[in-house]
Amino acid sequence: MPVKQRTPMPMQDPAERAKNFSQVALGYTEEMALAEAARCLQCKNPQCVVGCPVSVQIPKFIGLIKEKKYREAIDVIKETNSLPAVCGRVCPQEHQCESKCVLLRTGQPIAIGRLERFAADWEAQNGPVIPERPASNGKKVAIVGSGPSGLTAAGDLAKLGYEVTIFESLHEPGGVLIYGIPEFRLPKEVVRREVEYVKALGVKIETDVVVGRTITIDDLFEEGFEAVYVASGAGLPMFMHIPGENLNGVYSANEYLTRVNLMKAYLFPEWDTPIKRGKRVVVVGAGNVAMDAVRCALRLGAEEACIVYRRSRAEMPARAEEVENAEEEGVKFHFLTNPVEIVGDEKGWVKGIKCVKMELGEPDQSGRRRPVPIPGSEFFMECDIVIMALGTSPNPIISQTTPGLKAQSWGGLIVDEKTGRTTRERVWAGGDAVTGSATVILAMGAGKLAAKDIHEFLSGPQDKW
Amino acid sequence: MNEILVKKNLTPVTKLIVVKNPYVAAKAEPGQFIILRVRENGERIPLTIADYDREKDTITLVFQEVGLSTILLGKLEVGDRILNLVGPLGIPAELPESGTVVLVGGGVGVAPILPKAKELYRRGVKVISIIGARSKDLLILEDEMRACSHELHICTDDGSYGFKGFVSDKLKELLDGGLKCDEIIAVGPIPMMRATCQTTKPYGVKTWVSMNPIMVDGTGMCGACRITVGGKTRFVCVDGPMFDGHEVDWAEAWLRAGMYRDEEKVALESCQCGGGK
């Protein structure tokens, strides 16, 4: 009989880690990895692989770990996943591969993400093998954005011999992995390593280029690129359109996290970008971004940091592990609560937030029960920082500057789901630019899909779009 | 890329640099801006493009040394490279093809006025320019503005040169004197743009302003630059930077511009780079 409980992840102590930006989950030791790998039943028809958006050969790599063949294990993962050290840390495995694990019937599923991370970190410590660069096929592909979707597509296409250039608008590659996800969950060193791997495959990355402004998609075709993959990511942060949202002390989660992660505002004044360190911080929303923001607020010295969410605990979109981590660190949760107004002082600074209590009514379009306000239940919470983590709508710059490229009314680019093709010939799109805020792994899956179709298109007669 | 080719001191606190960047030079239009970073641990700051030369692959930036990042930028010399520079960002100004336009520039705001004046002048629009500064030694780009204006009025707060008073006072005098114009474009510090809009409102003349709020990415991702225009929240980086000045919530814009005033002092003190004087 396999062990019912998975091998626990060693963690930094909650009280300690709530004050620093170092990694929370420390990673399996070799002994832990072997113990966990031994639990895998090596199913003949593995459902975990079906649950993985990039189809990592999960039983195969776990089997190799069992045999202590770590180099071979990471090679198996990298056949389908260019960013294993990232995915091992940030994928919502409980909704994907691990949700299909046969061990769930009798106990806890195998800790696939933790083993993936173990293999990736083993490689980083023992020296990555520089991949062999395939001979160029002479065809140039441009990729817009160096986040998880763009890096994945770039890696896959480079392996097929394409000359790939990624255009990145920020000064550092990595997209949301760099500006969005905090150091304590995904060290930037890990991201840089993954970016270096993609570069070692022959991919060029040009930073400080905003496609749509610095250079247009039409320009790219004129420069000889034969296909363009748009993976420009999350765009404009959403706000609630309630009074007081432009008071000083109100941030979008995007801004708050960009200041902290990309610009290292937690090291101010050693780093030049400032951030407001609040005493009482309210984060509105309950996705992964909200968890990241509220945990950053604690680490920046907040005496109290809380989540305000209009639905109940069960509907929270965040990864279960991150919610647990946040609770251990002291984050408070106000469920069934919705802000109606942010209240400011006479100098234009936030001094509190007015909320209303909610109850769950009939299911809405998303299948979740719709929260409705309880009349007369308004109450006031004191706070000095409010962070809106309500998701984003895709950036309009590219759709506005590319003739023939059509977008949904809410901004998402329109694509064929099976191929990633947009309404403009030779332009593919995927990731948050198409779906709005989603996950790293879904964006990577879209990158894979597009890379495959770009290859099929460019190696075919190229006459049908 | 991003090499400084020319550097001039326009006033004791205002510098002009010409920077090589073929991408931005090829695409820049009047009204657009760039974002730059001077050092590895540096901030991203927006600066309006004051001029561009498509043949020489250069852009011109004019900045006042008011905070840590602009002081550090001012320390770069000819031959040095700016670490990161991205653009052109924002929507280009929609300039008329004919008629009369009054351009109002205050302080360092004269720099962003210049490319608009040049383009309007080139199109054959009648250009009436009013530029000003606190005193004569702080006035910038007078000759350049004169070369592309049909009329140029100079104002100083202390009367050390030209008209004594604010640019908005001069504008009022002209409007009261029967000046007819199709639109007004005002660029400068918030109090100057607000005063200009208050001046023009009773005359019912369309008045455009160019906002320069705090930004981080400059591509719409963060929302740091949001302002209220006509009761709606707008992002200056992707919806602007030009807005109808009569619709802007100036009080809010002023408060938001001061969000990091305390931190700016700390940054200057801790770097000991000769700032804060």
Tell me the shortest Cα–Cα distance from B131 to chain A, in angstroms: 30
Residues 6 or more apart in contact with residue A378 via CB below 8 angstroms: A340, A354, A355, A356
A interface test, pick of B19, B72, B221, B270 with most A CB neighbours within 10 Å: B221
pLDDT at site A178: 96
pLDDT at site A134: 84
pLDDT at site A121: 96
Tell me the shortest Cα–Cα distance from B93 to chain A, in angstroms: 14
Residue A153 has pLDDT above 80, yes or no: yes
Same domain? For A157 and A203 the reply is yes
Phi then psi for residue A256, to 5 deg, are: -60, -50
Q: Which two tokens stand for residue B188?
A: 């400068």
Tell me the shortest Cα–Cα distance from A254 to chain B, in angstroms: 5
* Residue where one domain finishes, among candidates A331, A359, A390: A390
Asked if B88 and A271 come within 8 Å (Cβ–Cβ), the reply is: no
Give how many domains chain A has, as a whole number: 3
**Amino acid identity at B115:** P
Same domain? For A300 and A249 the reply is yes
Residues of chain B with C-beta less than 8 angstroms from the C-beta of A234: 221
| CA distances to A141, A169, A256 from A224, in Å | 9, 21, 39
**DSSP helix/strand/coil, A109:** coil
Q: Give chain B's length.
A: 277
The whole-number average pLDDT for the span A303-315 is: 95
Tell me the shortest Cα–Cα distance from A353 to chain B, in angstroms: 18
Residues 6 or more apart in contact with residue A167 via CB below 8 angstroms: A142, A143, A144, A145, A206, A209, A211, A215
pLDDT at site B213: 96
Q: Which two tokens stand for residue A447?
A: 């990158």
Same domain? For A220 and A297 the reply is no
Distance CA A417, CA A42 (A): 32
Query: How confident is residue A179, by pLDDT bands cut at 50, 70 and 90?
Result: very high
Nearest to A77 by CA among A56, A97, A46: A56
Domain assignment of residue A287, yes or no:
yes
A interface test, pick of B222, B239, B260, B271 with most A CB neighbours within 10 Å: B222
Asked if B23 and A209 come within 8 Å (Cβ–Cβ), the reply is: yes
Nearest to A113 by CA among A62, A38, A44: A62
Residues 6 or more apart in contact with residue A322 via CB below 8 angstroms: A185, A288, A291, A292, A295
- Name the pTM for this structure: 0.94
pLDDT in tens, B41-66: 999 999 999 999 999 999 999 999 98
Q: Average pLDDT of chain B?
A: 95
- Name which of B251, B258, B267 is nearest A272 (Cβ-Cβ): B267
The whole-number average pLDDT for the span B67-95 is: 96
Query: If you measure CA to CA, which chain A residue comes closest to B232?
Result: A241
Domain assignment of residue A62, yes or no:
yes
Distance CA A351, CA A151 (A): 42
Distance CA A391, CA B236 (A): 20
Burial level of A221, CB count in 10 A (0-12/13-18/19+)? middle
Residue B276 has pLDDT above 70, yes or no: no
Residue A40 has pLDDT above 50, yes or no: yes
Question: Do A70 and A119 form a contact (C-beta atoms < 8 A)?
Answer: yes
pLDDT in tens, B166-216: 999 999 999 999 999 999 999 999 999 999 999 999 999 999 999 999 999
Residues 6 or more apart in contact with residue B93 via CB below 8 angstroms: B29, B30, B31, B116, B185, B208, B210, B242
pLDDT at site A2: 61
Question: Which stretch of A247-251, A381-385, A398-402, B68-72 has the lowest confidence by average pLDDT?
Answer: A398-402
> CA B159 from chain center: how many Å?
23
* Residue where one domain finishes, among candidates A94, A126, A158: A126
pLDDT at site A82: 85
Question: Do B132 and B166 form a contact (C-beta atoms < 8 A)?
Answer: yes
Same domain? For A420 and A435 the reply is yes
Q: Give chain A's length.
A: 465
Nearest to B116 by CA among B236, B29, B30: B30
Phi then psi for residue B276, to 5 deg, are: 75, 10
Distance CA B225, CA B90 (A): 12
Same domain? For A72 and A110 the reply is yes
**DSSP helix/strand/coil, A230:** strand
Domain assignment of residue A318, yes or no:
yes
Asked if B41 and A267 come within 8 Å (Cβ–Cβ), the reply is: yes
Nearest to A177 by CA among A210, A202, A153, A146: A146
**DSSP helix/strand/coil, B210:** strand
| CA distances to A91, A175, A232, A409, B43 from A293, in Å | 18, 17, 22, 29, 20
% chain A with pLDDT above 70? 100
Q: Which two tokens stand for residue A200?
A: 């070692």
Question: Do B4 and B79 form a contact (C-beta atoms < 8 A)?
Answer: yes
Domain assignment of residue A133, yes or no:
no
The whole-number average pLDDT for the span A239-247 is: 96
| CA distances to A393, B3, B9, B46, B63 from B78, in Å | 42, 8, 12, 21, 16
Residues of chain B with C-beta less than 8 angstroms from the C-beta of A215: 23, 27
CATH number at residue A425: 3.50.50.60
Range of the domain at A436: 140-235+393-459
pLDDT at site A138: 94
Residues of chain B with C-beta less than 8 angstroms from the C-beta of A272: 39, 41-43, 68-69, 267
Nearest to B15 by CA among B55, B75, B102, B82: B75
Domain assignment of residue A411, yes or no:
yes
Residue A373, strand partner residues: A358
Same domain? For A259 and A382 the reply is yes
Asked if A269 and B263 come within 8 Å (Cβ–Cβ), the reply is: yes
The whole-number average pLDDT for the span B264-276 is: 74
Query: How confident is residue A458, by pLDDT bands cut at 50, 70 and 90?
Result: very high
Domain assignment of residue A5, yes or no:
no
Place of tokens 């649950």: A51
Question: Do B252 and A246 form a contact (C-beta atoms < 8 A)?
Answer: yes
Taking an 8 Å Cβ-Cβ cutoff, which residues of chain A contact chain B? 169-171, 179, 207-210, 213-215, 234-237, 239, 241, 245-246, 248, 251-252, 254-255, 258-259, 263-264, 267-274, 276, 347-348, 392, 395-397
Please give the angle made by the CA atoms of A241, A247 and A249, to the nearest 5 degrees: 115
B interface test, pick of A167, A206, A210 with most B CB neighbours within 10 Å: A210
pLDDT at site B145: 97
Domain assignment of residue A145, yes or no:
yes
Residue A318 has pLDDT above 50, yes or no: yes
Same domain? For A200 and A320 the reply is no
| CA distances to A129, A150, A202 from A132, in Å | 9, 21, 9
A264 DSSP assignment: -
* Residue where one domain finishes, among candidates A372, A390, A408: A390
pLDDT at site A1: 54
Query: If you measure CA to CA, which chain B residue comes closest to A208?
Result: B86
Distance CA A357, CA A359 (A): 7
Taking an 8 Å Cβ-Cβ cutoff, which residues of chain B contact chain A? 23-24, 27, 37, 39, 41-44, 68-69, 83-89, 216-217, 219-224, 226-228, 233, 235, 238, 251-252, 255-256, 258-260, 263-264, 266-267, 270-271
Same domain? For A188 and A312 the reply is no
State the DSSP string of A426-458.
TEEE-THHHHSS--HHHHHHHHHHHHHHHHHHH
Question: Do B147 and B154 form a contact (C-beta atoms < 8 A)?
Answer: no
Asked if B228 and A246 come within 8 Å (Cβ–Cβ), the reply is: yes
Place of tokens 């005002």: B186
Asked if B221 and A235 come within 8 Å (Cβ–Cβ), the reply is: yes
Residues 6 or more apart in contact with residue B96 via CB below 8 angstroms: B120, B123, B125, B182, B183
pLDDT in tens, A93-116: 988 999 999 999 999 999 999 999
Residues of chain B with C-beta less than 8 angstroms from the C-beta of A213: 27, 87-89, 219
Place of tokens 């001979």: A135
Same domain? For A254 and A229 the reply is no
pLDDT at site B216: 96
Nearest to B19 by CA among B89, B70, B72, B76: B76
% chain A with pLDDT above 90? 85
Q: Which helix (H) or strand (E) holds A253?
A: helix A253-257
The whole-number average pLDDT for the span A442-464 is: 94
Q: Which helix (H) or strand (E) holds A84?
A: helix A84-90
Same domain? For A376 and A260 the reply is yes
Distance CA B127, CA B124 (A): 9
Residues 6 or more apart in contact with residue A384 via CB below 8 angstroms: A249, A276, A278, A279, A280, A281, A349, A350, A351
Same domain? For A331 and A209 the reply is no
- Name which of B41, B87, B222 is nearest A213 (Cβ-Cβ): B87
Pairing status of strand A332-334 against strand A304-308: parallel
CATH number at residue A18: 1.10.1060.10
Residues 6 or more apart in contact with residue A68 via CB below 8 angstroms: A34
Asked if B226 and A208 come within 8 Å (Cβ–Cβ), the reply is: no
Domain assignment of residue A29, yes or no:
yes
Same domain? For A200 and A283 the reply is no
Q: Which two tokens stand for residue B214?
A: 């705090």
